Structure 1
Amino acid sequence: MKKKRLLKISGWVILLLVGILGCLIFYTVKIEPYQIRLKEYVSIKNKQSKTEIKVVQFSDVHIKEDYTYQNLAKVVDKINEQKPDFVIFSGDLYDNYSIYNDDQNIIRELGRIKATYGKVAIWGNRDYGGGAGRNYPGIMQAADFMLLSNQTERFTLENGKTISFTGIDDMLLGSPDTSVGVNSMEAVYSIFLTHEPDYLKDYRVEGFDIILAGHSHGGQIKVPFFPSINETGLTFHAHSKEYSSGFYDFEKKGDKKLYVNSGVGTTHISARFGVVPEITLFRIVI
């Protein structure tokens, strides 16, 4: 009698565990990848100043059959809610251009992004592969983005203060100029943009106020209390081994100069757990 009761309890436990696992898989595949979260940070360079600019960064959209312009539209709406002065896209628009592309709808959505002074983009590795390299520049231009490749552009604000953006070409598939930061234009606030953060040691970035990157997706899957699993995830996706997501010290301890955006889309597997898609708002006081 006791044995039958134990078997019955065990059966219920197994069913419960299977149900929990099923819910987790459903959340990981069908819910979290389609959420969008705003992260907000303040950077103060001049404590006496009343000039604040809002810079929004988004990255790694990876448009594909299960993440289309309709999903991008929600990201665009979230960006516009912030009323940004500048918008930065740090690479990887499509997942695999040769398998799935929808340029006209993507151009329309990206074109809806509003920024007071300008929209800036750089190259990611996926922006070269699968024939994307022939089309990515035209897409971004049609959507009113300035595409930087080993270039620095300076913008002048209404009060005469300047902010500069230096964008490096993709390190994996592009032709990056590692000296591009050396002769960057002087500005009150300077931002360095790169897709892959692990290669920053190859660049001269000491003069920049902040470095913004993407590529890592935060690993896409972040299992609590099991860092080794998360590290394996980063390796599996061939993403950053040193920089996963968030702020990192770079030149010196405590400077928190490098920020790695966890991205919007997914690659390899259409799943996220513990790494909600993000856009980032930087309130910069200059």
Structure 2
Amino acid sequence: MIRKIRRFLTVLLVVALFAVSFFLYGVYVSVERINLNYESIASAKIPQDLNQANIAFITDLHYNGFMNQERLTSMFEKINSTDPDVIIFGGDLFDNTANQMPDESKQAELLNLLKSLEAPLGKFAVLGEQDETSESMKEIAKSILYQADFELLENRSIRIRNESNSSITLFGIDSMVNGVPNIEQAFADINANEFNIVVTHCPDLISEIPTTAVDLMFAGHSHGGQIRIPFFGPIATVEGAKNYSYGTQQVGNTLLHISNGLGTTGYDMRLFAPPEVLIYRLIADQA
């Protein structure tokens, strides 16, 4: 009987140690350890001038919350070390903006950090729900992005070129939450024979876009759940990421990639959903 009790207590202690270890890792290690997730996509629609071009997708900074200058500086240095040709930002500059507007010092800090990101073929952005909690917050977000050399895509498209007339097309669509997405306006000039990329904040918007004509879509918003249980998924989902909340999924002809983002909100903890930057390499498939 005593032996059984000892065995039970030993198992209980081991489980408790594992639980504490996971908690400490999620709070003190995982939130700062950025994953550079390298992917590639090949298509005959990618022009030779953009063959091997790298696109870095970053999203959900949530600055002025748990994300501070030191943490984000380290993350941005790692992003610059990958030498991206294009950088795309998926929204949410600051955290909890409905209750606390960022002061001028925090705005200046984030502006300087965003300006430090380098991409010779351009930096582009869409807004997230935290950027659009009010008109004044929206103006702050737009001003910071503009001064940091990001071109804001509000329900419109732009062509990305590499010193030639050949191009791919990037479509930016406003956030489903707090924003006003206009699918018809954004895709007014879409051509299914060209390589088309969509960026928007909320991944569930993929249900409303013409997936037969879109090759690749980037989204964030969900943080990958922040806490994700293997084989079960996120412990909670949020509006705008109920149907699609993490990872890579094929939807029609569109490869949807949902980033975990960089920051945290609500609580400064991540488990099986580390901070993430997507680095996509374009491959001109001439076969």
TM-score bucket of the superposed structures, by smaller chain: 0.7 to 0.9
Q: What is residue 61 of structure 2 aligned with on the other side?
A: 61
Matches within 5 A, 1:66-105: 66-97=66-97, 98-99=99-100, 101=102, 102-105=106-109
Are residues 7 and 155 of structure 1, via their aligned partners in 2, closer, same or farther at CA, if it must alter by over 3 Å?
closer
Alignment partners' CA distance in 1, 2:155 and 2:182 = 6
Instruction: Write the letter of the residue equivalent to 2:126.
Output: I
Q: What is residue 199 of structure 1 aligned with on the other side?
A: 205
2:19 matches 1:27? no
Instruction: Write the letter of the residue equivalent to 2:208.
Output: D
Are residues 79 and 48 of structure 1, via their aligned partners in 2, closer, same or farther at CA, if it must alter by over 3 Å?
closer
Are residues 113 and 280 of structure 1, via their aligned partners in 2, closer, same or farther at CA, if it must alter by over 3 Å?
same
Instruction: Write the letter of the residue equivalent to 2:151.
Output: M
Alignment partners' CA distance in 2, 1:33 and 1:10 = 34
Shift of 1:49: 4.2
Instruction: Write the letter of the residue equivalent to 1:137.
Output: K
For 1:126-182, what per-residue CA distance to the aligned partner results, in whole angstroms no more than 9, with x for missing partners?
Answer: 111265223100111111111111111123212432122111111111121121343
Aligned-residue sequence identity (percent) comes to 27
Q: What is residue 218 of structure 2 aligned with on the other side?
A: 212
Q: What is residue 40 of structure 2 aligned with on the other side?
A: 42
Alignment partners' CA distance in 2, 1:48 and 1:55 = 15
Q: What is residue 242 of structure 2 aligned with on the other side?
A: 241
Are residues 195 and 93 of structure 1, via their aligned partners in 2, closer, same or farther at CA, if it must alter by over 3 Å?
same
2:138 matches 1:133? yes
2:182 matches 1:177? yes
Given that residues 119 and 145 in structure 1 are in contact (C-alpha distance below 8 angstroms), is that contact kept between their aligned partners in structure 2? yes
Are residues 259 and 8 of structure 1, via their aligned partners in 2, closer, same or farther at CA, if it must alter by over 3 Å?
closer
- Cα-Cα RMSD: 2.4
Structure 1: runs of 5 or more not aligned? none
Alignment partners' CA distance in 1, 2:227 and 2:269 = 7
Given that residues 166 and 184 in structure 1 are in contact (C-alpha distance below 8 angstroms), is that contact kept between their aligned partners in structure 2? no
Instruction: Write the letter of the residue equivalent to 1:211.
Output: M
Given that residues 131 and 138 in structure 2 are in contact (C-alpha distance below 8 angstroms), is that contact kept between their aligned partners in structure 1? yes
Instruction: Write the letter of the residue equivalent to 2:61.
Output: V
Structure 2: runs of 5 or more not aligned? none
For 1:225-263, what per-residue CA distance to the aligned partner results, in whole angstroms no more than 9, with x for missing partners?
Answer: 4x1xx35422xx445122122221112xxx452111111
Alignment partners' CA distance in 1, 2:129 and 2:186 = 20
Instruction: Write the letter of the residue equivalent to 1:250.
Output: V
Shift of 1:207: 2.0
Alignment partners' CA distance in 2, 1:117 and 1:94 = 26
For 1:41-91, what per-residue CA distance to the aligned partner results, in whole angstroms no more than 9, with x for missing partners?
Answer: 111112994722111101111113421122111221121111111100011
Given that residues 163 and 190 in structure 1 are in contact (C-alpha distance below 8 angstroms), is that contact kept between their aligned partners in structure 2? yes
Alignment partners' CA distance in 1, 2:161 and 2:240 = 35
TM norm structure 1: 0.87
Partner-residue secondary structure (3-state), 2:127? coil
Are residues 191 and 275 of structure 1, via their aligned partners in 2, closer, same or farther at CA, if it must alter by over 3 Å?
same
Partner-residue secondary structure (3-state), 1:257? strand
Given that residues 178 and 204 in structure 1 are in contact (C-alpha distance below 8 angstroms), is that contact kept between their aligned partners in structure 2? no
2:148 matches 1:143? yes
For 1:96-131, what per-residue CA distance to the aligned partner results, in whole angstroms no more than 9, with x for missing partners?
Answer: 134363111101110000001100010111111265
Partner-residue secondary structure (3-state), 2:30? helix
Given that residues 203 and 240 in structure 2 are in contact (C-alpha distance below 8 angstroms), is that contact kept between their aligned partners in structure 1? no
Q: What is residue 273 of structure 2 aligned with on the other side?
A: 275
Alignment partners' CA distance in 1, 2:137 and 2:72 = 18
Which of 24-33 and 176-185 deviates more? Answer: 176-185
